[in-house]
Amino acid sequence: MKIPGIVVSMMVLIVSISVVNLVHAGETDTRKEIRAAKSKPTIRGGIVYKNYCVLCHGERGDGMARATKLYGQGNLVIKARDDDYYQQIIRYGGSSVGLSRYMPAWEEELSEEQINDVIDYISIVNDPVERGRVVFMTSCILCHGVKANGKGRASVMYDPRPADLTRSDKNDSYKKMIITMGGEAMGRSKVMPQWGLQLKEQEIDDVIEYLRTILVKPLK
């Protein structure tokens, strides 16, 4: 039986597309991995916290924040409490539990999901590594990958490739510099962004704490 040339070339095309896809999937994060990493309530809650709570309660939930002086630092510490208490004070405000009315009621401003997510986040807000994980999953995985192995979805577009951060041989102060000032300022690729423009120093310190915990071993 003779197979027409057009059919052969289509088959070749289909096979090569699937091979490319396979190689691709093995190399970079899958959409599923990214969705899973980004959809964790804690990660989403971190974004809510940053937008609505950080001003008064501070990056670490310790009440060291810009608005601290207005309300008195002691009161602004987020302490470990049960979920019912968090639900009450966050939905209906400080006065609903006999505390300061300067703690706003959020039920009108935040969705059901956002309230639950931010409660998840405040349970880890005083843990630097967990805060750093949130920073990493929100800002770094596109290039460095969910597993920080340098194989994020965008990694294939760049040469040099984003670093495998599980095997970095750089110390914390080098990491702080390159994260804050970007690759170009350090004589490296300008693709590595200047995060000092977008992240607070605390967030950069936190992400470095997180990177410590995922270190497998340095290459050298």
Pairwise CA distance, residues 182 & 212, whole Å: 19
Q: Does 91 interact with ligand HEC (rule: CB under 6 A)? A: no
Question: Binder to ligand HEC among 43, 134, 137, 140 (CB under 6 A)?
Answer: 140
144 touching ligand HEC, by CB under 6 A: yes
CA 139 to CA 110: how far, in whole Å?
A: 23
Report residue 177: phi and psi, to 5°: -65, -50
Burial of 136 (0-12, 13-18, 19+ CB in 10 A): buried
Is residue 212 near ligand HEC by the rule CB under 6 A? no
Q: How far is the CB of 64 from ligand HEC (least distance, A)?
A: 13
Given 87, 96, 126, 139, the residue binding ligand HEC (CB under 6 A): 139
Instruction: Please tell me whether residue 75 binds ligand HEC under the rule CB under 6 A.
Output: yes
Q: b/e for 43-66, b at 16 or more Cβ within 10 A?
A: bbbbbbbbebbbebbbbbbebebe
178 touches ligand HEC (CB under 6 A): yes
CA distance 54 to 17: 47
What CA–CA distance (Å, rounded) separates 202 from 45?
Answer: 17
Residue 143 interacts with ligand HEC (CB under 6 A)? Answer: yes
92 binding ligand HEC? (CB under 6 A): no
Give me the least distance between CB of 44 and ligand HEC, in Å please. 13
Binding site for ligand HEC (CB under 6 A): 52-53, 55-57, 67, 71, 75-76, 78-79, 81, 86, 89-90, 94, 99-100, 102-104, 106, 118, 122, 139-140, 142-144, 154, 158, 160, 162-163, 165, 168, 170, 175, 178-179, 183, 188-189, 191-193, 195, 207
